[in-house]
Amino acid sequence: MSDEFGSHKDVSENLPSAHGAHSGDAVQHDPFANPGLPPHEYRRQDIDEKAAKHSERVVAGLFTLSMLGTIAFIACFVIFPVDKIVYIFPFGHVSALNFSLGLTLAVALLGIGVGAVHWARTLMSDEEIVDERHRADADDELRENIRQQWITGARESGFGRRKLIRTTMYGAMALVPLAGVVLLRDLGPLPEDKLFHTLWAKGKVLINSNTNKPLRPEDVVVGSLTFAQPEGLQESDEDFQQQIAKAALMIVRLKPEDIKDKREAQWGHEGIVAFSKICTHVGCPISLYEQQTHHVLCPCHQSTFDLSDGARVIFGPAGHPLPQLRISVNGDGNLVALGDFAVPVGPAFWERS
Amino acid sequence: MSTTTESPSSRQATHPGERIAEWTDGRLGLYKLAKSNLRKIFPDHWSFMLGEVCLYSFVILILTGVYLTLFFHPSMNEVVYHGPYAPLQGVRMSDAYASTMHISFEVRGGLLVRQIHHWAALIFIAGMIVHMMRVFFTGGFRKPREINWLFGWTLLFLGMFTGFTGYSLPDDLLSGTGVRFMEGAILSTPLVGTYLSMFLFGGEFPGHDFVSRFYSVHILLLPGLMAGLLTAHLILIFYHKHTQFPGAGKTEKNVVGTPLLPIYTAKAGGFFFLVFGVISAIAAMVTVNPIWTMGPYRPDQVSTGAQPDWYMGFSEGLIRVMPGWEIRLWGHTLVLGVFIPLMIFPLVLLAIAVYPFIESWVTGDKREHHILDRPRNRPVRTGFGVAWLTLYFVLLVGGGNDIWATHFHLSINAITWFVRIGFFVLPVLTYWITKRICLGLQRRDRDKVLHGRETGIIKRLPHGEFIEVHEPLSQQQLHVLTAHAQPAPIELGPAVDENGVARKTNPVEKLQARMSRNFYGEHSQIPKPTAEEYEEVLAGHGHHEEITSGSGSH
Ligand code: HEM
Ligand code: FES
């Protein structure tokens, strides 16, 4: 039997031109020859009916366990209210329903899985069988046959001869997908100058995002980070998410002498400065403020901006400073914007100069 | 009963199952299909189950995914929460988020299905990467299986995006942050970035459309493509028949193993339930993506330590360690700091996709291969695979730089620089080390073949010398350790032809020859023992014994 598939010659025929390959005459004496498939070894279950019976009982037991698992699953579904929380060590407080359903389902499934695998391993014939492989490519005769069929077909179509038809067909096929492309046009509006503007405008009052009250200079204390949004913007507005994504503000109060950037000081009010809260890297909102250094940190990729120096980037992947909003105080003593941001907020893009 | 031979149908089918099969055969040619497949041979090896893990988690994803569609609302309409989860009472959120809350807290078993769906996704993609690397390291991608390699790779690529669109659907604070990240990355595209962003989001970010758009991509487009590719993948596995490791009785022309019916069916079928059972148990015990703790998405809010699902981590690493380069010229901005990572992301993946074609070009190997390589016997390929994985993991580390920093009290700056330098240095280093290790293992194999296996038993010879007893290898082991081919590198050919005229060698040929030397040159393989060497050593042993026994005649 081993001759059929065991001889080493079979292997070396397929080997590349190898140095040191054992080939040619040496085959008979090849010390590394493929010994061929070893004789099949019987398992205990193959010869001992008692062992086989035992395996059978184990498999049947596992399938029965699975049935019990499913019944338990249904029972848990009925018994546990969906909102019941229980404490289970070491998982902590968990939903009783989720926990019990998951585990009973696991038992139901694992019972089948382990049972089937055990069955295959102990009771089904494990004798290895040899099968032939066949090359994927055709022999010369078939190749020639197909070539002829192709040539005949091509000739009958006249595709090569009638150039006019060919060219216009290519043209038609190339154009027709354009219809599909055009249909995508209304996926969204054109960018125009949308990314260049926010809701901020001259005279808009800064509203504290937490209290929803107008922000007054005396509310902004040294060392704290205050978030603000434009007056009139309501959470219930249709376009609230789009607007807040651009207009969110971050206000800090610095000692005027700490501000290194002259323009920054001018655009602020008595040391109170307002910057865009939207990171100039890829647009996360910035949330961490270190009062000693006046650094703010973006939690997404750790870009760090120095708020005492024009919000310049001092660390991380952001490519330009946070835009500053010019603010002042109006007649009511509230902080107001003196206009929109001078540059687009958020991530950079091609049209940004 | 008349045993007539005129037509197969003359035998009366008695069993109802057989009658159904017969009926179908008359219409679909079922028996002809079954002829070559019912007892199809499948070689057995634990690593061949990795692909099955992927297949089964995909099936689980479809089953649980369809269930989720029954309750999930792919809509960004605003609603005010009045469900049972107290901390979010009265909070405004999208319908998508609210319906995911409903699935988690009000639908009995809904939370479990969500958890199984998410865990299966994590395991699906991890399984695909490990499975891919198994195929890579053993050379399973060689002819005739290159196309199936590409199918598998595409499944991995699409799987990552299916996962991404999936975890973006609940519209929670974490996933929304990920979508924002994607929008920022798209904006960096030169010329068309803002257009792409407007078209994808139906206007300015986040708009009202992305959940429903992601939804059709997530439940229809990508799974549909993947189901097609997966079917093709499996058909090709059947058509090519499975590869096998070298061993007794295994050749390039046969396939040795157990038949589809019954052994393989029982094992593989059982394995599906095992995978499903394990995922259910994990889903019961370990919460993944607890969207209720994060709250609904708002573009001006963020949670710290925001991390994507692990398979997106390497893109996160790329974007975190890249310096923030922006080139401003003629009123335009080229956002290299974001755009370069956006481009490297697919390139890293492409590098491994095209490897089979590069290897076959470099080595000039156009033969069919059905016996797998032992990784040590292909040190350059193995080195490249390890280098690729290293790159992947360096970036994964970079993607979690804040987590590393807080857990191990390291400075973010130090980690960032470690990743930046490591990105270039570590793959080279691990390539080199891996190659060394492979060569060392080849040397050990050579010694084993020539001198047998060390038994650890020390024997004292009569004249006082101590030797370790070596046990000769079995024929099977001898064969396994020497079955691999050791091809010679491609030679450039003489610089002058027969007539003494200088021959032109084009630079492409030169590159091929150089890479081929790198692949199969003397620094990349330890010559395996030849039959002569082996006989010689055997004879030498005899000689030695003769001397000790005192006869000395030779
Ligand atoms: C093919 C691979 C797939 C992957 C990798 C995948 C991955 C994911 C992930 C990670 C989530 C987030 C789950 C969460 O934590 O909330 C998700 C959600 C979802 N998936 Fe899939 N999924 C796949 C296929 C499908 C299919 C075929 C369907 C439906 C036919 C589906 C339907 C859904 C639905 C409705 C949700 C949102 C509901 C929810 O998040 O609870 N998925 N998917
Ligand atoms: S979004 Fe702020 S650092 Fe990336």
Determine the longest span between alpha carbons in chain B, in angstroms.
Answer: 102
CATH classification of A194-337, choosing from 1.10.620.20, 1.20.120.450, 2.102.10.10, 3.40.250.10?
A: 2.102.10.10
**Is position B372 within any domain?**
no
| A303 touches ligand 2 (CB under 6 Å) | yes
- Hey, what are A279's tokens? 């990171």
From chain B, pick out residues whose CB is under 8 angstroms from the CB of A248. Answer: 299-300
pLDDT class of B258 with cuts at 50, 70, 90:
very high
pLDDT in tens, B119-133: 999 999 999 999 999
Per-residue pLDDT tens for B382-413?
999 999 999 999 999 888 888 888 888 888 88
- The residue of B118, B280, B340 whose CB has the most chain A CBs within 10 angstroms, and thus the best one to mutate to test that interface, is B280
Question: Ligand nearest B222 Cα, by number?
Answer: 1
d(CA A67, CA A61): 10
Residue A2's pLDDT band (cuts 50, 70, 90): very low
> Is A298's C-beta closer than 6 angstroms to any atom of ligand 2?
yes
**How confident is the model at residue B507, as a pLDDT?**
86
Q: Where are the alpha helices (DSSP H) in B286-354?
A: 291-294, 313-321, 336-353
Rounded to the nearest angstrom, the minimum Cα separation between B528 and chain A is: 7
Q: Find the residue in B nearest to A92 (Cα).
A: B285
CA B164 – ligand 1 centroid, Å: 9
Give ipTM to 2 decimals: 0.89
Cis peptide leading into residue B262 (ω within 30°): yes
Per-residue model confidence as pLDDT tens digits over B188-199: 999 999 999 999
Mutate to test the pocket of ligand 1, among B67, B68, B94 (most ligand atoms within 8 A of CB): B68
**What pLDDT, on a 0 to 100 scale, did the predictor assign at position B400?**
84
Nearest-Cα residue of chain A relative to residue B106: A82
B286: left (phi over 0), alpha (psi -120 to 50) or beta: beta
> What residues does A132 pair with on adjacent strands?
B254
Q: What is the mean pLDDT of residues A321-340?
A: 95
B542 pLDDT higher than 50:
no
Residue of A nearest to B145 (CA): A136
Between the CA of B99 and the centroid of ligand 2 the distance, in Å, is 30
Evaluate if residue B5 carries a pLDDT over 60. Answer: no
Tell me the average pLDDT across B332-344: 94
Higher pLDDT, A293 or A21: A293
* CB nearest B249 (choices: A36, A246, A302): A36
Give the ligand 2 atom nearest the CA of A279: 2
Q: Which residues contact A10 (CB under 8 A, 6 or more apart)?
A: A34, B251, B252, B253, B254
Q: Tell me if B282 sits within 8 A of B268, measured CB to CB.
A: no
C-beta of residue B86 within 8 angstroms of C-beta of residue B121: no
Answer whether residue B526 is part of any domain. yes
Do residues B283 and B119 lie in contact, with contact meaning Cβ atoms separated by under 8 Å? yes
Partners of B40 on chain A (C-beta within 8 Å) are: 131
Best of B64, B171, B177, B204 to substitute, by most chain A Cβ atoms within 10 angstroms, is B204
Is the pLDDT assigned to residue B550 strictly greater than 90? Answer: no
Contact between B427 and B387 (Cβ < 8 Å): yes
Residues of B with Cβ-Cβ distance to A349 under 8 angstroms: 187-188, 193-194, 333, 335
So what's the pLDDT on residue A263?
A: 93
The burial class, CB within 10 Å (0-12 / 13-18 / 19+), for A147 is: exposed
Give the pairing of strands A304-306 and A295-297: antiparallel
CB contact under 8 A, B479 and A8: yes
Q: How many CB atoms lie within 10 A of CB B228?
A: 11
Helical (H) or strand (E) element with B491: none
Given a cut of 80, whether residue A13 has pLDDT beyond it is no
Give the residue numbers spanning the domain of B224.
41-308
Chain A contacts of B278, Cβ < 8 Å? 106, 110
Is A12 touching ligand 2 by the criterion CB < 6 Å? no
Residue B306 has pLDDT above 80, yes or no: no
Please say if the pLDDT value at position A322 is more than 80. Answer: yes
Sign of the torsion formed by the C-alpha atoms of B128, B240, A41 and B473:
negative
Residue A14, pLDDT above cutoff 60:
no
Average pLDDT, chain B: 90
Asked whether residue B219 carries a pLDDT value surpassing 80, the answer given is yes
List pLDDT tens digits, range A66-118: 999 999 999 999 999 999 999 999 999 999 999 999 999 999 999 999 999 99
Total structural domains in chain B?
2
Q: Which atom of ligand 2 is nearest to the CA of A303?
A: 3
Give the ligand 2 atom nearest the CA of A302. 3
Q: Which of A1, A3, A8, A14 to mutate to test binding with chain B, by most B CBs within 10 Å of its CB?
A: A14
Establish whether residue A318 lines the binding site of ligand 2, counting it when its CB lies within 6 angstroms of any ligand atom.
Answer: yes
Give B335's contacts in chain A (Cβ within 8 Å).
Answer: 319, 347-350
* pLDDT of A340 over the 50 cut: yes
Strand partners, B42: B258
CB atoms within 10 A of CB B154: 16
Segment B420-438 mean pLDDT: 96
CB-based contact A116 B267, cutoff 8 Å: yes
Q: What is the pLDDT of residue B545?
A: 38
pLDDT for the residue numbered B537: 85
Quick: pLDDT tens for B469-478.
888 889 999 9
Does residue A28 carry a pLDDT above 80?
no
Segments of chain A assigned to CATH 2.102.10.10: 194-337
- B218, B166 Cβ separation under 8 angstroms: yes
- Is B352 in contact with B314 (CB distance < 8 Å)? no
- Out of B201, B285, B488, name the one closest to residue A188 (CB): B201
The overall average pLDDT reported for chain A is 89
For the record, the structure tokens of B517 come out as: 């030397």
Q: Do A282 and B185 touch (CB under 8 A)?
A: yes
Ligand 1 centroid vs B121 CA: distance in angstroms?
8
pLDDT at B546 over 80: no
Mean pLDDT comparison of B6-20, B295-309, B425-439, highest-scoring range: B425-439
pLDDT for B398 equals 87
pLDDT over threshold 60, residue A23: no
CA A23 to chain centre: 52
CA B130 to chain centre: 4
Taking an 8 Å cut-off on Cβ atoms, the answer to whether A26 and B338 are in contact is no
Q: Do A11 and B252 touch (CB under 8 A)?
A: yes
Residue B329 has pLDDT above 70, yes or no: yes
Task: Pick the ligand that lies closest to the CA of residue B159.
Answer: 1
Q: Residue B552: its pLDDT value, please?
A: 36
What is the three-class DSSP state of B22?
helix
Q: Do A245 and B328 touch (CB under 8 A)?
A: no
Chain A contact set for B41 (CB, 8 A): 129-131
At residue B125, the pLDDT reads 97
Chain B residues with beta carbon closer than 8 angstroms to that of A313: 324
Q: What is the pLDDT of residues B354-367, one digit of tens each?
A: 999 999 999 989 99
DSSP state of A249: E
The whole-angstrom distance between B268's CA and the closest CA on chain A is 8
Q: Which residues, including other chains, have CB under 8 Å from residue B138's CB and lie 6 or more apart? A: B47, B243, B245, B372, B373, B374, B375
Strands A295-297 and A335-337: unpaired
Picking from A123-127, B99-103, B221-225, B242-246, which range would have the lowest pLDDT averaged per residue? A123-127
pLDDT above 70 coverage of chain A, percent: 92
Does the beta carbon of B117 lie inside 6 Å of ligand 1?
Answer: yes
pLDDT digit string, tens, across residues B75-90 = 999 999 999 999 999 9
Q: Closest Cα of chain B to A4: distance in Å?
A: 9
**Cα–Cα distance for residue pair A175/A169, rounded to 1 Å:** 10
Q: What's the pLDDT score for residue B9? A: 54
Contact A8 B370 (CB under 8 A): no
Q: Using CA atoms, how far apart are residues A289 and B253, in angstroms rounded to an integer? A: 68
pLDDT range class, residue B241, cuts 50, 70, 90: very high
Are the C-beta atoms of A319 and A332 separated by less than 8 Å? no
| Residue contact A129–B483, C-beta within 8 A | no
Chain A contact set for B281 (CB, 8 A): 102-103, 106, 110
For residue A214, what is the enclosing H or E element? none
> Is the pLDDT at B200 greater than 60, yes or no?
yes
Chain A: closest CA distance from residue B437 (Å): 22
Please tell me if the CB atom of residue A297 comes closer than 6 angstroms to any atom of ligand 2. Answer: no
E-strand ranges in B78-225 read: 78-80, 92-94
Mean pLDDT of A263-284: 94
Cβ of A300 less than 6 Å from ligand 2 = yes
Point out the ligand nearest to the CA of residue B225.
1
